[in-house]
Amino acid sequence: MNITRRNVLLGATAAAALAPIASRAQTSEVVIGIIYPFSGASAQQGVDAQKAYETALEIINKDYDFDLPLAKGEGLPGLGGAKIRLVFADHQSDPQKGRAETERLITQEKVCAVIGTYQSAVAVTVSQVCERYQIPFISADNSSPSLHRRGLKYYFRAAPHDEMYSQAMFDFFDAMKKKGTKIETLALFHEDTIFGTDSANAQTKLAGERGYKIVADIKYRSNSPSLSSEVQQLKAANADVLMPSSYTTDGILLVKTMAELGYKPNAIVAQDAGFSEKALYDAVGDKLEGVISRGTFSLDLAAKRPMVGKVNAMFKEKSGKDFNDLTSRQFMGLIVMAEAINRAKSTEGEKIRDALVATDIPGEQTIMPWKRIKFDDLGQNNDADPVLLQYIGGKFVTISPPQAAVAEATWPMK
């Protein structure tokens, strides 16, 4: 009995002595999982996202004189200067693959947090796995409003969702009407996953509240080989504004089909996604002079906040592109997660979650035109102010809201 008790005591002492070493080893680096499509039709989104995360990683792990959380000094001071390491996983735009890859990141790669995912449909399964393992998930660039309303404790989104974006569009329509522009009828065009349907639901609700008539509401199959019949319906409806919610390949096909069938709407006001992507403008930009897209990022902000231009230059060196609506949100996703882990002084999921709940970052300490980053009880930041951008002369300029605008809207589009 005594021998056993002594062995137990010795074992306990040895364990106590080893504990600090184990904890130090655990926190010499902080491993975060990043899950995106790196193959298939949306692979370019994954490539661009990786460059955005690597830009944020460089700023956190090295020493930069930027007014961003964790830029000054190296690594995470709350964890003794520990560096962040990113592990990238490919969900191939498939929600079930997303589920399996998230499980692998957590159980095999031992990540303490996950960030993703581009498609909202994949965010559904990824966030469910994170919830089960009590691992914090930041939905960096998913815009479906239903995502934060599922009662998940470990789900957080710093960026706006499509109800907020759609409201910005309707505020803009109201302002244009006051100036005498004819905007009465709308045509909704949306893909059939959670992104497109949530977007259309938000726009339908706002149209009803604000007195606009929806004369076409067309739901099409994502990655359709043809959109001819859909575009013929849009042309027949001839609405004052076409409002597409489409990813890149669908957006390109839509614009090409419109040109083939001679459909030229007065205005296109897009729910971002493909309409913020360089690939779309490389393919059909000549047909899109004056297109308007909602966004969260505006490079115009660099005039007021020079840091924005410097961070953009770092990203451009890696990617060959300026930040856009998606890559800017991805960049901020890692900054927000790292800032919370630093305050948590821990890689334990529950402690990181508690730190995320307490997040309060002023807008000036981001690269975004937001008031601040602070999460509500559902994990949503309601202070992320959207902007509307118009594509003029090969680049985007901010046209709304008035406090962020640098140009008047060109209407109708050319």
Structure confidence at residue 405 as a pLDDT band (50, 70, 90): confident
- Supply 67's token pair: 């007014």
Helix or strand run (H / E) with residue 138: strand 137-139
Amino acid, res. 76: L
User: How many whole angstroms separate alpha carbon 407 and alpha carbon 391?
Assistant: 11
Q: Which residue is associated with the tokens 């949503």?
A: 380
pLDDT tens digit string along 113-126? 999 999 999 999 99
Is residue 341 within 8 Å of residue 355, measured between CB atoms? yes
The residues that bridge with 372 in the sheet, in sequence order, are: 362
Structure confidence at residue 311 as a pLDDT band (50, 70, 90): very high
pLDDT score for 334: 98
Q: List the chain domain ranges.
A: 10-160+302-383, 163-295+388-400
User: How many whole angstroms separate alpha carbon 289 and alpha carbon 293?
Assistant: 12
Structure confidence at residue 262 as a pLDDT band (50, 70, 90): very high
pLDDT tens digit string along 209-257? 999 999 999 999 988 899 999 999 999 999 999 999 998 899 999 999 9
The residue that leads in pLDDT, 241 or 294, is 241
Residue 7 has pLDDT above 50, yes or no: no
pLDDT score for 8: 41
Is residue 76 within 8 Å of residue 31, measured between CB atoms? no
- Same CATH fold, 163-295+388-400 and 10-160+302-383? yes
Distance of CA 32 to the CA centre of its chain: 17
Structure confidence at residue 11 as a pLDDT band (50, 70, 90): very low
Q: What topology is assigned to 10-160+302-383 in CATH?
A: Rossmann fold (3.40.50)
By CB atoms closer than 10 A (0-12, 13-18, 19+), residue 74 is: middle
Peptide linkage before 95 cis (omega within 30 of 0)? no
User: How many whole angstroms separate alpha carbon 366 and alpha carbon 362?
Assistant: 7
- Supply 350's token pair: 């529950």
In whole angstroms, how far apart are CA 410 and each of 155, 181, 391, 393? 39, 11, 10, 12
The pTM score is: 0.83
Task: Give the N- to C-terminal CA distance of the chain in Å, as an integer.
Answer: 90
pLDDT tens digit string along 324-354? 989 999 999 999 999 999 999 999 999 999 9
CATH 2.40.240.10 fits 163-295+388-400, yes or no: no
pLDDT tens digit string along 348-363? 999 999 999 999 999 9
CB atoms near residue 130 (< 10 Å): 27
Residue 382 has pLDDT above 60, yes or no: yes
Q: Which residue is associated with the tokens 């974006």?
A: 165
Residue 367 has pLDDT above 50, yes or no: yes
User: How many whole angstroms separate alpha carbon 152 and alpha carbon 283?
Assistant: 39
